[in-house]
Amino acid sequence: MTAELVRLAVQSGIATITLDSPANRNALSAPLRAQLSDALDRSAGNGSVRVVVLDHTGPVFCAGMDLTEPPDAVRELPGILERICTHPKPVVARLAGHARAGGIGLVAAADIAVAVDRATFAFTEVRLGVVPAVISVTVLPRLLPHSAHELLLTGETFDATRAAAIGLLNSAVPADQLDAEVDRYTGMLIKGAPEALTLTKQLLHASTTWDFTTMLELSLSRFQSAEAQEGIRAFTEKRPPSW
């Protein structure tokens, strides 16, 4: 029987997906990859879920690919990163520990990432003779260009304070404030209208070639939607919207 390495729990509109393989530092082994993909799919299809929190057990958020597996195991990583990027609900990464290599790809794929200030990060690929090619798709849009050149080429370990300064994290906080900071973000996100959040995520990940005409059509369609009409009525009537 395959061990449960990823847990999914839903409460009050928040789906928490927990990487639970601390024995190998939550490395992306074949069973963990399969279970993580399944949890992402199930949370995406659950109409009661408004926000997803990507969490972990143990001192390491994710150490990257499981290096004991065949090299072609990396073929499954793009699908996981894409599931996070295109998830219809906002995804918040909660890091109570360190991240390395492919694990940073997961962090960068999330919409918002919060870590304890003692967490460390490193793009260790070049020191192993490999290239951070797949994760560059999620990582490079978040990082300051000069920092990306430095850190991906040197493999140097950097702390959470710098990770926040260069754009990888939204926030780095003391350990005793981590839960409150995650709650602050999820509390704000859950106030958003579900369809509007999904479309805004698509907008954020869309090609930069989108023009004003396309954006105007999207804006008009949203103003005319039932969800927007409810939001506007709630605002004018000074009451919470139905969602």
- HEC string of the chain equals CCCCCEEEEEECCEEEEEECCHHHCCCECHHHHHHHHHHHHHHHHCCCCCEEEEEECCCEEECCECCCCCHHHHHHHHHHHHHHHCCCCCEEEEECCEEECHHHHHHHHCCEEEEECCCEEECCHHHHCCCCHHHHHHHCCCCCHHHHHHHHHHCCCEEHHHHHHCCCCCEEECHHHHHHHHHHHHHHHCCCCHHHHHHHHHHHHCCCCCCHHHHHHHHHHHHCCHHHHHHHHHHHCCCCCCC
Active-site residue, 125 included: yes
Q: Among the options 4, 76, 82, 125, which is catalytic? A: 125
Which residues are known to be catalytic?
125
